[in-house]
Structure 1
Amino acid sequence: MALLLVAYYVCLAVVSSAIVVLLLDIRKWLRMPPGPLPLPFLGNKLSLPASKPWVQFEQWARIYGPIFTIWIGRRPTVIISDPTVAVELMEKRSAKYSSRPRFVAMGELFSDMSSILVQPYGKKWSMYRKLLHQGLTPSALRLYKPVQTAEASRLCYQLLCNPGDWEMLLDRFTAGIVFVVSYGHRIDSMDAKVIRKQFEVMQYMASLNVPGAYLVESLPFLKYLPTVIAPWKQEIIDHGLEQARESINLLNSVRRDIANAEATGTPIQESLAKLLLETRASAAPGMNEREFASIPLSLFGAGSDTTASTLCSAFLALVTHPEALRAAQAELDAVVGSERSPTYEDEPRLPYLKALIKEVLRWRPVAVLGGTPHASTEDDYYEGFYIPAGTTVLGNTWAINLNEEYYPNPHHFNPKRFLGDEGALASEKSDMERGRKTHPAKSGHSSFGWGRRICPGADIAMNNLVIALGKLLWAFDILAIPGYKYDIFAYTEGFNIRPLHFECVIKPRSEKHRQVVEAEYMEAMEVMARFPPFE
């Protein structure tokens, strides 16, 4: 009888606590931005789509407005679908919205919180960011341009020889630049073990970063389950340990380069890893080896796969909108001629090319859900809605970049939307004169994120796109195959997206263009010979 009484009071206490928690959740739910009705304790878990959640979020934005709330268990996530709202919260109020939510799968299990990507806002994150920015200063970016130019020329030559491998060659181009910048080594082939491994890891990490993908994000206590009954947990941990070993091995390769240079008296090429190793004692006190090794490798995530995916979207845009290809080539012919391919010095006189790049970034943003989510660190209010501290804040870049109020007929690829009446890049005034809302960002799109968490590799990525697309459009016709069905919505899953593979025709525009590509390739290889290859 006594045991029954104890059980009764225990049950009563549990039920009472659950009711109190539920009432508190309801009170919070009523004060926050509206959204789909959550279930007690489960939230919207059952209504979150397993595939392409950004499309569902875009549809919900039409129902609930440009800022709405979904619930992952008892954790609220605010979804933003308007660029003005995104800038107001994540840039103008960046002191409140620059942290990260708790990442159980990707942060605690996969990376053991050793990555800058998952670091909450604070002193440790600031140290990571400061170290990373040593390789991203304006003077450093200028030093990378000869390598970027050489790699773009090498890309053109490789496409000339193997046009059917265009997607793999775009991946090699961006990976090659990142590895030269990060480690002072070049990548000659996507068959190199080091690069294959990094692309595998990037794809796996993207799968961990999708809202609702893992129940452990809603119920964090599941991370403590024994791996015998939670094999998913061991899989995540094993992938993370493998990534840590790879990043440390890459750092050790630069250590060996430095040791050999000291022994032989021969200088080695500068790189972010070399700079970090030389300043580690003073610049990174207290960092363990896994944390330290993650910094140069983080450039790979910031500027390699994402840039290659943008170039893939550019190819899809060009074969489905050939008028854009013809307009870009007309500009390049007028400015550059046929005796050489474009260089960075030509960039100021190529407004249509720059508008085309902006349109690619807008039309099909790679970080389709705005990159890694932000989190608020203080209670806040927006237009009367309550946003409590600890709220996950996610900019749906898909919905933002395709918002019809800012971009009429948004799925039509039209670089001219970024040009004014005189053919120069459009200004805020010209937008207003056309009767459309003005995107608050200077770039005119939201593809690199916001505020203090903006993509650190954005400038490298833009420089890559300028030189690569400039040379590619100058050298080649990139055309649709007659009768081939192209689907501009056929994209991969995951947090970073790219078009599903498609076929196209890539051919030199003339024999003269072919000869220039071959000659510039020889010059490019003289530049790249300074950097030893990664096997």
Structure 2
Amino acid sequence: MLLQEQAATIYQAHDVESVTFLQALVNEPSNFRLECERLALNVLLKPIYGCRAGKIQDSLVKELYDIWEMMYLYFLPWTFPFDNFPSLLALPKILQPWDWLTRSLLRQEELIHARLLGGVKASMETGEGSPCMAKTLIESDILGHVLGLKINCTDDGKLNKQGEERNLTDVLAMILGAGADTISSTLLNFFKAMALHHNAMASSQAEIDAVVGPSRLPAWGDMDDLPYTKALIKEVHRWAPIATIGTSIWIIIININTLDIRVKGIQS
């Protein structure tokens, strides 16, 4: 319900965020990485929590991306010794430093989302605030009834207050985490691609100038009239995909094993 195509039109705030992003790049081009991360967060914060991260919320941007960076750094396969020695997981929790790290990161992320969810609830009490996923979930109680979740339920099968909020934050945190880092990484890859391929950037700019003109920025309605630029955006996704690292690693391993078998066969 939250992620259907027709629901996306309710939350579409990309045009405003794009203008803000471009203004920030003009004023402070050296902060392009932070601005990419802020844009990605805002594109999702608006539909998820009905708010955005401005300059005074730089700490929010940094906190979230620091947590995700730690997760990626430490939770890749074979990062911890128990990947090679599973018996280590039988040790008491106090002797498992990775358990401390996991709990700490989860707690930090939960506190951030609890603050954001608190803002939504406060705006609902005053009758203010824009439509957002958090508000939809609270009003429909979809987590407690439609999905039939049984996490943190009381004896009569109803969610207690703490369990209900935990389910809310878990779902919303998953959507935010899955989208923000991929969007910002794709933007950074776009900058890299344009720095390496000036001709592609020049061709796209020429198309935009011819179709859109100098007096405004491209909008969603211009998409069908900008085939080269549309193809360029798709090529950035193909050229530097975000979510295929694990697949690539396994392909490399399979190829190495195959090569080893072939070499041994030739030697024999």
Normalized against structure 2, the TM-score is what? Answer: 0.80
Deviation at 1:399, TM superposition (A): 6.5
Corresponding residue for residue 329 of structure 1: 205
In 2, the alpha carbon distance for the partners of 1:270 and 1:198 equals 23
In 2, the alpha carbon distance for the partners of 1:295 and 1:210 equals 22
In 1, the alpha carbon distance for the partners of 2:56 and 2:36 equals 10
Would you say the 8 A contact 1:367–1:397 is kept in 2?
Answer: no
Corresponding residue for residue 252 of structure 1: 118
In 2, the alpha carbon distance for the partners of 1:311 and 1:254 equals 29
Corresponding residue for residue 318 of structure 1: 194
Quickly say closer, same or farther: Cα 1:198–1:190, change in 2 above 3 A: farther
Corresponding residue for residue 223 of structure 1: 89
In 1, the alpha carbon distance for the partners of 2:135 and 2:87 equals 41
Would you say the 8 A contact 2:211–2:225 is kept in 1?
Answer: yes
Whether 1:270 aligns to 2:122 is no
In 2, the alpha carbon distance for the partners of 1:397 and 1:301 equals 23
In 2, the alpha carbon distance for the partners of 1:223 and 1:398 equals 25
Identity %: 28
Would you say the 8 A contact 1:183–1:272 is kept in 2?
Answer: yes
Corresponding residue for residue 248 of structure 2: 396
Whether 1:358 aligns to 2:234 is yes
Q: Larger relative contact order (C-alpha < 8 A, sep ≥ 6)?
A: 1
Two-structure CA RMSD over aligned residues (Å): 2.3
Deviation at 1:246, TM superposition (A): 2.6
In 2, the alpha carbon distance for the partners of 1:232 and 1:308 equals 27
Quickly say closer, same or farther: Cα 1:255–1:283, change in 2 above 3 A: farther
Whether 1:348 aligns to 2:224 is yes
Deviations 1:254-275 (A, max 9, x none): 12221222xxxxx420001110
Deviation at 1:359, TM superposition (A): 1.2
Q: Which amino acid aligns with 2:121?
A: R
In 1, the alpha carbon distance for the partners of 2:242 and 2:20 equals 24
Whether 1:144 aligns to 2:11 is yes
Would you say the 8 A contact 1:168–1:190 is kept in 2?
Answer: no
Q: Which amino acid aligns with 1:325?
A: M
Other structure's SS at 2:214 match: coil
Deviation at 1:190, TM superposition (A): 7.5
Deviations 1:174-196 (A, max 9, x none): 11111111100111137533332
Deviations 1:274-330 (A, max 9, x none): 101112242344343323311112222222121111111111111111001101011
**Paired residues, what number?**
237
Task: Show structure 2 runs of 5+ residues with no match.
Answer: 152-162, 253-268
In 1, the alpha carbon distance for the partners of 2:116 and 2:67 equals 15
Within the candidate set 167, 170, 192, 2:58 is matched to 192
Would you say the 8 A contact 2:48–2:172 is kept in 1?
Answer: yes
Deviations 1:414-438 (A, max 9, x none): xxxxxxxxxxxxxxxxxxxxxxxxx
Quickly say closer, same or farther: Cα 1:217–1:240, change in 2 above 3 A: farther
Within the candidate set 16, 24, 40, 1:174 is matched to 40
Q: Which amino acid aligns with 1:152?
A: S
Quickly say closer, same or farther: Cα 1:323–1:398, change in 2 above 3 A: farther
Normalized against structure 1, the TM-score is what? Answer: 0.42
Q: Which amino acid aligns with 2:248?
A: N
In 1, the alpha carbon distance for the partners of 2:245 and 2:225 equals 33
In 1, the alpha carbon distance for the partners of 2:233 and 2:52 equals 26
Would you say the 8 A contact 1:223–1:233 is kept in 2?
Answer: no
In 1, the alpha carbon distance for the partners of 2:171 and 2:146 equals 13
Corresponding residue for residue 203 of structure 1: 69
Q: Which amino acid aligns with 1:214?
A: F
Corresponding residue for residue 256 of structure 2: none
Whether 1:291 aligns to 2:187 is no
Task: Show structure 1 runs of 5+ residues with no match.
Answer: 1-133, 262-266, 371-394, 401-535
Would you say the 8 A contact 2:45–2:51 is kept in 1?
Answer: yes
Q: Which amino acid aligns with 1:273?
A: A
Whether 1:306 aligns to 2:169 is no
Q: Which amino acid aligns with 1:283?
A: V
Q: Quick check: which one's helix share is greater?
A: 2
Within the candidate set 106, 109, 112, 1:243 is matched to 109
Corresponding residue for residue 508 of structure 1: none
Other structure's SS at 1:337 match: coil
In 1, the alpha carbon distance for the partners of 2:195 and 2:53 equals 29
In 2, the alpha carbon distance for the partners of 1:228 and 1:186 equals 39
Deviation at 1:151, TM superposition (A): 0.4
Corresponding residue for residue 145 of structure 2: 282
Corresponding residue for residue 157 of structure 2: none
Other structure's SS at 1:361 match: helix
Q: Quick check: which one's strand share is greater?
A: 1
Corresponding residue for residue 233 of structure 1: 99
Other structure's SS at 2:126 match: helix
In 2, the alpha carbon distance for the partners of 1:197 and 1:160 equals 25
Q: Which amino acid aligns with 1:313?
A: N
Could you say which structure has the larger radius of gyration? 1
Deviation at 1:163, TM superposition (A): 1.5
